[in-house]
A and B are shown apart, each in its own frame.
Chain A
């Protein structure tokens, strides 16, 4: 079998796929996924601030 799903039953599979998808596994760091997402976005903000400061410092 190529895939667990039957290609001729896709509409039903579609209905199933729209149910809530829960990942109960926690990330190894930061205890929750939201905190890990926050870390990645926080790092982005920090990098923008640092890049700006870097540009200004050596301009």
Chain B
């Protein structure tokens, strides 16, 4: 990065802190600090919801995913609009009517204290692990790309977030999220325009789409059904809907965003805006990845996109072997360039037979290039068994650093920092709220002044932030545990959603039935995870289904004891 990029990055980060501190001023009580006095307008909440959901990895990994796997990932979001409508009808009015601070508080109103505590603890464990990853993952990518120690990048992200969240509470979180998403949107629009602009002269946007499509990167919709296939329209609509229902309906980091709405109307509008805007937004980010892919069909890509690992292997005992692969990769690239021109000429002629023939040749040579890349990864693994062989996160940023104009590089990195901060700030405020409202106030200090709870909330917010930074500092030593932590999050959502569905729709089901069913549902999900190949998107459907089914059965057969919980 050049001086101007550092200036753009520095000014953006400084502006975020300043804006957060300014907007978060005046939170003098717990309601103001944790619920923003229920004063938020729908557009602030909507952008805050989207910013919290979109982590830094969304913006680094998603374009990389389109580069490697095509745009089919967009199907994962197809269930989200349906979930937004369902939640607008059910959860939003109930949460507003009961004036709750956390989603789990509602479960005590509906069931009992043990169910509230169980779900709140599940959330605290799951999100507590996630907040460390939310800081660690982008810190690692940024440290590699900017050539800075990971401790510094994680300290910058965590330090900035702690400053404005501890000071201003949820109000600061919502307003900075709003501002951060605007920065991200502009940054991404500029990135797409610059990528298209950087294509060789004579290659139009239409040509680029034909190349991407011909090489299988515009595979947006897949109607085939397969339980093991992670992304098809069915897993996207059904599995994705359950994920979104769980995330937006039971996860406090999202629920807290729309609990700050002035009214049911404002909260609903925010969720519905998210439902309408999320899919086009993901399409747009994936399109950037597809365009980067096309760009690298005309300009030689690196054999492996992680610059640190590439440098390491070149100076290792496997250096010669890797260099010969690199040479072969460059030769294949030259052959591919010629075939690409033939393909574009065929496209312009409109001759179907020629297009098919050229497309076939192009894909064959691309397979050769992919094979060389796979061999390179094998060598990297041989050299260092603990290496992260997935370079998807580095594809987009590697392109940004090498090819985008000065100033825009700083803006894109500011976007990645902003995205990381928006996610972790939402998580911190949610963790602090649950720790104080569901645990501290409910179990340890039931009667205390408002001022006391405000101070405890601030301390809790800061402590969760410090914990997140500490986790990020030591996460690299955890190795494959990081992956396990990521999977762990998806294992609990189905169970939590099941409990909430029981609360909303099954009025005759009591607290004990729901509590037992939650344990059974979790056991089934863990069994699926351990002993089957079912794609993780389906865990939410399975977990939720088992919880609802078991609770309903328990209520039918053991009605008197189950309902005697009151």
Q: Which residues of A contact B (CB under 8 A)?
A: 1-5, 7, 10-11, 13-14, 17-18, 21, 23, 25, 27-28, 33, 36-37, 39-41, 43-44, 47-48, 51-52, 54-55, 57-59
Known A11-B566, A23-B93, A55-B218; judge A44-B100 contact (CB<8 A). Answer: no
Q: Which of B98-145 contact A (CB under 8 A)?
A: 98-101, 105-106, 108-113
Known A5-B109, A17-B109, A23-B265; judge A41-B85 contact (CB<8 A). Answer: yes
CA A57 to CA B74, docked complex, whole Å: 18
Q: Which of B260-277 contact A (CB under 8 A)?
A: 263-265, 268-269, 272, 275-276
Q: Which of B266-296 contact A (CB under 8 A)?
A: 268-269, 272, 275-276, 279-280, 283
A54 touches B94 (CB 8 A): no
Residues of chain B within 8 A (CB-CB) of A7 are: 108, 442, 446
Residues of chain B within 8 A (CB-CB) of A48 are: 78, 221, 233
Per-position 1/0 for B47-86, Cβ under 8 A of A? 0000000000000000000000000001000100110110
Known A2-B441, A37-B88, A44-B81; judge A14-B221 contact (CB<8 A). Answer: no
Decide yes or no whether B212 CB sits under 8 A from chain A. Answer: yes
A43 touches B212 (CB 8 A): no
Please give me the residue from chain B that is nearest to A47 by CB atom: B279
Q: Shortest Cβ distance from B435 into chain A, in angstroms?
A: 13
A44 touches B82 (CB 8 A): yes
How many residues on B have C-beta within 8 angstroms of the other chain's C-beta atoms?
53
Residues of chain A within 8 A (CB-CB) of B97 are: 17, 21
B280 touches A47 (CB 8 A): yes
Q: Which of B446-491 contact A (CB under 8 A)?
A: 446, 450, 453
A4 touches B214 (CB 8 A): no
Decide yes or no whether B30 CB sits under 8 A from chain A. Answer: yes
Residues of chain B within 8 A (CB-CB) of A17 are: 94, 97-98, 106, 109-110
Q: Which of B109, B210, B263 has the most CB of A within 10 A?
A: B109
A41 touches B109 (CB 8 A): no
A33 touches B566 (CB 8 A): no
Decide yes or no whether B220 CB sits under 8 A from chain A. Answer: yes
B98 in complex: contacting residue of A5, A27, A36, CB < 8 Å = A5
CA A5 to CA B442, docked complex, whole Å: 13
Decide yes or no whether B307 CB sits under 8 A from chain A. Answer: no
B99 in complex: contacting residue of A3, A27, A54, CB < 8 Å = A3
Residues of chain A within 8 A (CB-CB) of B81 are: 40-41, 43-44
Residues of chain B within 8 A (CB-CB) of A27 are: 265, 268-269
Residues of chain A within 8 A (CB-CB) of B272 are: 36-37, 40
Decide yes or no whether B219 CB sits under 8 A from chain A. Answer: yes
Residues of chain B within 8 A (CB-CB) of A40 are: 81, 84-85, 272, 275-276
Residues of chain B within 8 A (CB-CB) of A36 are: 272
Closest 9 CB pairs between A and B? A58-B213, A51-B220, A21-B93, A44-B81, A25-B265, A52-B221, A23-B264, A37-B85, A55-B220
B283 touches A13 (CB 8 A): no
Residues of chain A within 8 A (CB-CB) of B535 are: none
A52 touches B220 (CB 8 A): yes
Decide yes or no whether B89 CB sits under 8 A from chain A. Answer: yes
A18 touches B275 (CB 8 A): no
